[in-house]
Amino acid sequence: GAGVSQSPRYKVAKRGQDVALRCDPISGHVSLFWYQQALGQGPEFLTYFQNEAQLDKSGLPSDRFFAERPEGSVSTLKIQRTQQEDSAVYLCASSLGLNNEQFFGPGTRLTVL
């Protein structure tokens, strides 16, 4: 399909494990965003890329969270030494440009036991 895809759709991790979440944006979209939705909350901004450059990572909750987009297309959100409070749905969105409409993927639901 032509939409934003994310994988895996569901991930269960034991506390302390590292996880990697993948986002495939819409082809040609230069802007890519990650959001975190904890249970009972709205999605919250984590980080933003313009092509391969990470221009804003102010929403990353700790230094255990790391995102990259090395070739300006696919992005990976990595969480090291997962904690229970990391359990959430992680949404990826892409857009043509900074101020254009953001198109969302279906999210990855992470459960940390």
Measure the CA–CA gap between 37 and 104, rounded to whole angstroms: 13
Measure the CA–CA gap between 49 and 72, rounded to whole angstroms: 8
Q: Choose between 17 and 96: whose C-beta lies nearer to another protein.
A: 96
Query: Among 17, 20, 45, 57, which residue sits at the site for another protein (rule: CB under 8 A)?
Result: 45
**Binding residues among 46-105 for another protein as defined by CB under 8 A:** 48, 56, 91, 98-99, 101-105
Measure the CA–CA gap between 106 and 73, rounded to whole angstroms: 18
- Which residues, at least 6 apart from 99, have a Cβ–Cβ distance to it below 8 Å? none
**Binding residues among 22-41 for another protein as defined by CB under 8 A:** 31, 33, 35, 40-41
Name the site residues for another protein (rule: CB under 8 A). Answer: 3-4, 9, 31, 33, 35, 40-45, 48, 56, 91, 98-99, 101-107
